[in-house]
Amino acid sequence: MTDLPDRPAGNAAPPDEVRTMFDQIAARYEPLNAVISGFQEPRWRRRLVSATGLGPGMRAIDVASGTGVVARDLARVVGPNGHVLGVDVSAGMLARARNRLPAVGHLEYLVADAMELPVEDATYDAATIAFGMRNLPDYGRGFAEMRRAVRPGGIVACLEIARPSGVIGRVGRAWFEAVVPRIGQLAGQGDAYRYLVRSVRAYPPPEQIAAIMRDAGLVDVAWTPLTFGMVTLHTGRRP
């Protein structure tokens, strides 16, 4: 893949700093995420899971799995005869996942880097990432690894905070940028939530993300804005 000048390569923050930050906020991540999303996050997750086309007995990998809520949702869909692997670079986040959503026979968690997934090629029917792509140092490589992990015809789905263009969306964005750092400060995690705002500002618009996905070898790339464009769901297919 060739990085074009108008397509940011990835998050400029050092990966070790990002990992340490998520280790530190793991205990408060879910309740703060609920407030920051206006309690819309469960609805967004349902759209993500639905976009995978998964069914009973199928296999999925959830990248940047965090506290494991998407992996849990996927595991419910594939059932006991399927399999879900949740991977995250933050051991603290996955410890939270294991404590609150224990691994069972068809759901497991693994500390691993999204830049080099420890899985064989063409292992899964779908790969998901929710609110994690903007934290990766190389977006194209992240999508390429997800593409590699799924079988031909498999789906790669990415849910991420976006830059809304409509009036209502812009109002929501202004609220996000004003309120999120304050919420983080009140929770004793001001630096982490200031980083969140910076990472959202730096993340490419949907059209550029779609181009990066195509550069990574995905086809039938499409995106859907959710909640007035505050969040975007991208999907692509491995040919």
The confidence score (pLDDT) of residue 102 equals 66
Length of the chain: 239
- Mean per-residue pLDDT, 171-194: 68
The confidence score (pLDDT) of residue 188 equals 61
The confidence score (pLDDT) of residue 15 equals 84
Domain boundaries, the chain: 15-237
- Checking if the pLDDT of 97 tops 60, the result is yes
| pLDDT tens per residue, range 115-168 | 999 999 999 999 999 999 999 999 999 999 999 999 999 999 999 998 777 776
The confidence score (pLDDT) of residue 190 equals 61
Closest CA to 108 of 123, 118, 97, 116: 97
- Checking if the pLDDT of 3 tops 60, the result is no
Closest CA to 84 of 73, 97, 92, 95: 73
Q: Cα(134)–Cα(158) distance, rounded to whole angstroms?
A: 10
Reported confidence tier of residue 219, pLDDT bands at 50, 70, 90 = very high
Q: Of 126 and 20, which is predicted with more confidence?
A: 126
User: Which region among 10-19, 68-77, 90-99, 228-237 has the lowest average model confidence (pLDDT)?
Assistant: 10-19
The confidence score (pLDDT) of residue 202 equals 87
Reported confidence tier of residue 230, pLDDT bands at 50, 70, 90 = confident
Structure tokens at 70: 């998407």
Specify whether the CB–CB gap between 94 and 70 falls below 8 A: no
The angle formed by the CA atoms of residues 32, 105 and 121, to the nearest 5 degrees, is 85
Q: What is the CATH number of domain 15-237?
A: 3.40.50.150
Reported confidence tier of residue 7, pLDDT bands at 50, 70, 90 = low
Helices (H), 138-205: 139-149, 167-186, 190-202
